[in-house]
Structure 1
Amino acid sequence: MTDKPVHETLSEEEQQKILEKYDPESATRKVKGALGWIIFFGLLAFSIFQLYASITQSVPRQILLSIHLGFALSLIFLLFPARRKAGRKDRVAWYDVILAIISVGIGAYWPLMIETIVNRVGTLTTLDLTVGTLAVLLTLEATRRAVGLPITIIALLFMAYAYFGPSMPGFLAHRGLNFESLINTMFFTSQGILGTPLYVSATFIFLFLLFGAFLVKTGVGQYFNDLALSIAGRRIGGPAKVAIFSSALQGTISGSSVANVVTSGSFTIPMMKKLGYRKEFAGAVEAAASTGGQIMPPVMGAAAFLMVEFIGITYWEIAKAAAIPAILYFSGIWIMTHFEAKRAGLKGLSKEEMPDRKEVLGKIYLLLPILLIIILLMTGVSVMRAALWSIIGTIVVSAIRKSTRIGFKQMVEALVDGARTALSVAAATASAGIIVGVVTKTGLGLKLANGLVGLANEQLLLTLFFTMLTSIVLGMGSPTTANYVITSTIAAPAIILLGVPALSAHMFVFYFGIVADITPPVALAAFAASGVSGGEPIRTGVNASKLAIAAFIIPYMFVLSPELLMIDTTIPYLIWVVFTAFTGMIGIGAGIIGFWYRKLYWFERIIAVVAGLMLMYPEGMSDTIGLVLFAAMVATQIFTKNKGKYKLAES
């Protein structure tokens, strides 16, 4: 970058305050002294154990998950206070030390007792029942602290449903589980806490979080900003386009929409405001773009790794399927920021405000680890092996320059940071396992799927609409990982019952779970962006929802036309679908912003949106009508742009 500052970024302390306000994962203690060192070495040991288990693959599944859970619970109780607004954050309450010690015992129970547990085949002793009960209670409390109250309440409601089954009304009634059976399912089988969600956390997700932590140590986060500036900084409304490009890249190293907003937004939002974008619009651009980071291949949000296990396909197939929808999503935001900049008469950055292009291109090697992971996944290497090799590749690539080199100290810090990031994911997936266990044991998933289809009168579009609402509402109160687990076990089966491919159904609920981060009234990513921009939170969320309109349309598209996910398609048809969808996004973007070649009248905005929707609906007649309307709008815009009677529209 040039020596001349072009904007004022938030300090690390200011960023941390915003993160702690909107992101429970960041509200940790800053413990010093002997206990601080215990936490440090605990996090380091957590990462070393996970690397050992991944490299050797010699640790039995239940032992792996039990130790993973024990590490996560004990460290959460030491790092996360019982109340977020508790007094001093440099001390650990005595009861949290006790809870951490108990958590270590819970983590050690399966490794120490595995033979006797297996031989008893579901018969619990008093000690088993006590340990299992503590495991459930501590998992719920750790989730409340590290993730939030909503997902904890949802898990409790599911357990209550399992216990009070005979008292449930109508088709929801079932035989019910007594207390012992409930605890047995939750901790002593592979269907509860130690189930598939936690397994994905202990294998795929943990390694990719480590990969992200190592990438950060190379300085790739700042490089993303510099690269985005070089590519988009001088274009019309440049800073907004920088935000889009940078946030899409940041998504490869951040699994949190809020964290992405604060780290990337502290750089891009001040630039947008300086150029002339409204505060709410600047925050909305960053919120929408950062949220999209979770749907951007090759490294998507944690829920994408759960999809591997739930559907039974490779991660590469999921990443490949997500590519075109992600491109359309970011294209939609790009288009609308472009029209907004034209409407407001905003230009790009000056030459003096741009980074040195040669210097930026000289660091292009920092992207090689991301390229490596794409190649490995494409060639059929397992997700775990791909992540491990990419971590090694990151260390090797960093050595090219002294300024990016990862030394021993940075390696240790990356291991600690990766483990710290994994704590909330482990808690969320453990509680999600409770939900999966109840659904599996009671058959609730099929019951609710049938009920949802019945409510929609077996109409696909209506079923999709109800599923969308369910996913968004759940996403407002729980992280994407837990949201996906719930909706994939309850809502996705309803869509599949109507003949939709499993990948399309799961991607549908995955998308809307993510969109919840920018959908008012609870839009955490948008609220975090407003904390950076100084804008009004709800208004920022409304603007972000408008900018991310593609995310509300594209899921319907790939359900109605699975070819968009590259399912059973031909290249010519795929090109046509992408062309019409992209053209449709131009029409919708112009209609929403109210500007195209000139300012649009209200009836022109309606026509533009209708033309866009017709083009995005994957059907021959609809595409034809949409193209005709689109062409007519373009011709009218060009012809009347400088005509006198239309000058009023530009005032």
Structure 2
Amino acid sequence: MASVSLQESSLDNQVKVHSKYMNYGGITSKAIVSLLIIWAVFQIYFTTFGAISAINLRAFHCLFLLLFTFLLFPVTQKTIKDRRFPSVLNLILIGLSIFCILYLVIYFPRVARSGGRLNTTDLYVAGIGILLVFEASRRACGNLGILAAIFLAYNWFGAYIPGALGHNGLTLKRILSTQFWGTQGIFGIGIGVSATYIFLFVLFGAFLKYSGFSKFINDFSLALVGQTPGGPAKVAVMASAAMGMINGSAIANVATTGTITIPLMKQTGYSKNFAGAVEAVASTGGQFCPPIMGAVGFVMAEFLNVSYVSVMIAAVIPAFLYYLGLLFAVHFEAKKRGLSGFSKENIPNALTVIKEQGHLSLPLFILITMMCCGYTPLYSAVISIVATVLSSYLRADTRMSFDKIILAVVEGSKGAISVGVCCVIIGIIIGTVTLTSLGLNMGYVILSVVDNTNILLTGFLTMLMSVVLGMGVPGVAAYVIVQAVAVPVLIKVGIVPICAHLFCLVYACLSNITPPVAMSCYVAAGISGGNQLKTGLLAVRLGLVGFLIPFFFLTNPELLIGVVPDVKIYEYLWIAFTASAGTVALAGGLQNYLLKECNFIERILLLMTCPLMLYPGLSSDFMGIALLGAVIILQRFNIGSSLLKRS
């Protein structure tokens, strides 16, 4: 990866190196850089060592987000971006933002003590604050603001919807109270994630970049798999899986590793949407990937009242298949695009790379070690940022100068703006779901149409409910909500308890990559510069095996090691082998490539192979093997293409 360019050597250029930002000069540019540094210091101090209430941390974080959005993002794409000072409109919006947030901070204790009673001024401030958030979202998040507006409208118009999906109607006062003054709207869990995990890990990624760690990862990945198709993307999958299983946060993982892996994939030749989708899918699967499974696995063990080892072992095959499918999707995409590896003379020597740049990986090892030892991801991230600077001084040619440190702080802070605004506007959606009980009502409607024998229909409807309840919610919280409603119903239709819990766990995690509110995909798209919706849809396709596997272990718990007694080791090995072959076939069918690009018949055969081989049973296994073998023979001897030409 290229070293720091001359353009990046100027602090003033940090507010104008990206075309989407307003370009200021002179004292305004220096003031914005200073404010970005102040924001970073504030976030680091109050998310680790300083004492501040959750609502105040989120409020001031929101204030910084609004401030920088109105300063850096133009009103429209046609707005003249080269200015010396902010426009009058933006100054007014900034002034209103400061007033509303400070008003909230000062009077929130009074509102909380009164049980949410609001006076007229409180309501006006709430209304203005919500409008400011929507304007910031329009500039920084695109279509996500439209979706949030639809949900906000449901608070009023839901009263006119018949049946269980309607509600009795809500007053404007109650809506404003929940969305602005409550802790389940704008200042809810969405901005809470932004104010903690996202900001610090984006900042950490920027420090890694300026320390030269990105170049080390690039050189080392080239040394290992540079000659194979899609090598850097495969390294990205493995690295994201390892980090995701440790920190338990798909969003934080995308923010951490994505700043390194996504540019690597784009440099290799993958599209920006595909690169973002790969990172989002890889990071999301870490939450149900042994041996650590993030925090969710421990919560699941508590609900089941079993040892964590039992949960971990049960998740081995589903997690393995999930990442196997992603690795082969990356490989087939590279083969289809003709992304051949680098020639041998352009591949660096692995030992030389480790000797000269290996010390730059120390911060990552420190981060992983600290989290494994029980330190919080936030504290670990701050220590790792310090370690990044210190480790760069181990060799003269990698030392971070004071200017580079400031550049890293500024770039990291800027990188957190658009993602943070997305998290704020998602609070409107989550607040609506909570206030109107939309998620729970939809769940009860879905479950009421299921009888006590239709396992697959129960599972399908539970999956839909999990997606709704998990929208914009971290994996742990989504799983807790879903299991409370869905697990009893799944058990009632005859599902083994650990299968029911793992089913809900997987879909609660996969909600991170499920549109329309796919938080991991939004973060990845922000890093890659891709389209949020396209990145989300690609992520669903790449992670499709993850959406399919839970249905198979609902009816065939043999896919989960240790769940069914008296299953022999060789039987688990056979199940893993056939399921792996089916997963590869699915990846080939979706990417339209196996040994070479598939024709229509070959693609259909591959897609038919997948369910046959994922379903444990000798008859279905041999049918799947026969179909897969047929495709291999057709492609190996070019029979399929010849038959199509004759027809």
So what's the TM-score if we normalise by structure 1?
0.74
1:27-42 to structure 2, matched below 5 A, reads 27-42=20-35
Deviations 1:244-268 (A, max 9, x none): 3246648977539997787234410
Letter matched to residue 127 of structure 2: T
Change in Cα spacing, 1:261 to 1:638, as seen in structure 2 (3 Å) is: closer
Check if 1:72 corresponds to 2:71. Answer: no
Tell me how far apart the structure 2 counterparts of residues 104 and 644 of structure 1 sit (CA, whole Å).
68
1:141 aligned residue:
135
Change in Cα spacing, 1:602 to 1:409, as seen in structure 2 (3 Å) is: closer
Tell me how far apart the structure 1 counterparts of residues 90 and 140 of structure 2 sit (CA, whole Å).
14
Letter matched to residue 47 of structure 2: S
2:504 aligned residue:
505
Change in Cα spacing, 1:391 to 1:591, as seen in structure 2 (3 Å) is: same
1:612 aligned residue:
610
How many percent of aligned residue pairs carry the same amino acid? Answer: 29
Check if 1:585 corresponds to 2:583. Answer: yes
1:158 aligned residue:
151
| Equivalent of residue 387 in structure 1, options 381, 385, 392 | 381
1:190-201 to structure 2, matched below 5 A, reads 190-201=183-194
Tell me how far apart the structure 1 counterparts of residues 509 and 49 of structure 2 sit (CA, whole Å).
32
Tell me how far apart the structure 1 counterparts of residues 19 and 237 of structure 2 sit (CA, whole Å).
19
Moved more, 246-255 or 108-117: 246-255
Tell me how far apart the structure 2 counterparts of residues 640 and 186 of structure 1 sit (CA, whole Å).
59
Letter matched to residue 242 of structure 1: P
Letter matched to residue 61 of structure 2: H
- Asked if the contact 1:218–1:366 (Cα under 8 Å) also holds between the matched residues in 2, the reply is yes
Moved more, 558-567 or 182-191: 558-567
Tell me how far apart the structure 2 counterparts of residues 599 and 497 of structure 1 sit (CA, whole Å).
45
Tell me how far apart the structure 1 counterparts of residues 188 and 410 of structure 2 sit (CA, whole Å).
25
1:550 aligned residue:
545
Change in Cα spacing, 1:574 to 1:230, as seen in structure 2 (3 Å) is: farther
TM-fit CA distance, 1:134: 1.5
Check if 1:414 corresponds to 2:408. Answer: yes
1:127 aligned residue:
121
Letter matched to residue 223 of structure 1: F
Change in Cα spacing, 1:259 to 1:474, as seen in structure 2 (3 Å) is: farther
Change in Cα spacing, 1:566 to 1:530, as seen in structure 2 (3 Å) is: farther
Tell me how far apart the structure 1 counterparts of residues 362 and 113 of structure 2 sit (CA, whole Å).
49
**Structure 1 unaligned runs (5+)?**
4-9, 14-24, 273-281
Deviations 1:592-618 (A, max 9, x none): 66776789887666554433323334x
Tell me how far apart the structure 2 counterparts of residues 153 and 364 of structure 1 sit (CA, whole Å).
46
- Asked if the contact 1:192–1:433 (Cα under 8 Å) also holds between the matched residues in 2, the reply is yes
1:44 aligned residue:
37
Letter matched to residue 609 of structure 2: A
- Asked if the contact 2:559–2:575 (Cα under 8 Å) also holds between the matched residues in 1, the reply is yes
Deviations 1:540-582 (A, max 9, x none): 9999876665355356567778998999799969876654432
So what's the TM-score if we normalise by structure 2?
0.74
1:366 aligned residue:
360
Letter matched to residue 505 of structure 1: C
1:241 aligned residue:
231
Check if 1:514 corresponds to 2:513. Answer: yes
Check if 1:289 corresponds to 2:282. Answer: no
Letter matched to residue 148 of structure 1: G
Tell me how far apart the structure 2 counterparts of residues 134 and 124 of structure 1 sit (CA, whole Å).
15
Tell me how far apart the structure 2 counterparts of residues 333 and 491 of structure 1 sit (CA, whole Å).
26
Change in Cα spacing, 1:337 to 1:99, as seen in structure 2 (3 Å) is: closer
Tell me how far apart the structure 2 counterparts of residues 79 and 313 of structure 1 sit (CA, whole Å).
46
TM-fit CA distance, 1:30: 2.8
1:106 aligned residue:
100
- Asked if the contact 2:254–2:280 (Cα under 8 Å) also holds between the matched residues in 1, the reply is no
Tell me how far apart the structure 2 counterparts of residues 153 and 638 of structure 1 sit (CA, whole Å).
47
Change in Cα spacing, 1:257 to 1:329, as seen in structure 2 (3 Å) is: farther
Letter matched to residue 243 of structure 1: A
Tell me how far apart the structure 2 counterparts of residues 100 and 295 of structure 1 sit (CA, whole Å).
36
SS in structure 1 of the partner of residue 48 of structure 2? helix
Tell me how far apart the structure 2 counterparts of residues 265 and 284 of structure 1 sit (CA, whole Å).
10
Tell me how far apart the structure 1 counterparts of residues 45 and 337 of structure 2 sit (CA, whole Å).
56
Change in Cα spacing, 1:337 to 1:375, as seen in structure 2 (3 Å) is: closer
Letter matched to residue 224 of structure 1: I
Change in Cα spacing, 1:254 to 1:409, as seen in structure 2 (3 Å) is: farther
- Asked if the contact 2:208–2:388 (Cα under 8 Å) also holds between the matched residues in 1, the reply is yes
Check if 1:432 corresponds to 2:426. Answer: yes
The size of the alignment, in residue pairs, is 600
Deviations 1:505-544 (A, max 9, x none): 3542543652659x9xx99989999999xxxx99x99998
Moved more, 53-62 or 107-116: 107-116
| Equivalent of residue 170 in structure 2, options 160, 165, 177 | 177
SS in structure 1 of the partner of residue 118 of structure 2? coil
- Asked if the contact 1:210–1:415 (Cα under 8 Å) also holds between the matched residues in 2, the reply is yes
Tell me how far apart the structure 2 counterparts of residues 455 and 26 of structure 1 sit (CA, whole Å).
52
SS in structure 2 of the partner of residue 172 of structure 1? coil
Tell me how far apart the structure 2 counterparts of residues 255 and 418 of structure 1 sit (CA, whole Å).
10
Letter matched to residue 209 of structure 2: V
Letter matched to residue 25 of structure 2: K
1:276 aligned residue:
none
Tell me how far apart the structure 2 counterparts of residues 321 and 648 of structure 1 sit (CA, whole Å).
45
- Asked if the contact 1:197–1:430 (Cα under 8 Å) also holds between the matched residues in 2, the reply is yes
- Asked if the contact 2:226–2:341 (Cα under 8 Å) also holds between the matched residues in 1, the reply is yes
Change in Cα spacing, 1:486 to 1:138, as seen in structure 2 (3 Å) is: farther
SS in structure 1 of the partner of residue 47 of structure 2? helix
Letter matched to residue 152 of structure 2: M
Deviations 1:378-422 (A, max 9, x none): 332223223223323323333222333334333333332222222
Deviations 1:302-337 (A, max 9, x none): xx99989999999x9999999976654453344356
SS in structure 2 of the partner of residue 75 of structure 1? helix
- Asked if the contact 1:452–1:494 (Cα under 8 Å) also holds between the matched residues in 2, the reply is no
Change in Cα spacing, 1:594 to 1:73, as seen in structure 2 (3 Å) is: closer
**Structure 2 unaligned runs (5+)?**
9-17, 244-252, 491-498
- Asked if the contact 1:103–1:138 (Cα under 8 Å) also holds between the matched residues in 2, the reply is yes
- Asked if the contact 1:62–1:194 (Cα under 8 Å) also holds between the matched residues in 2, the reply is yes
Q: CA RMSD in A?
A: 5.3
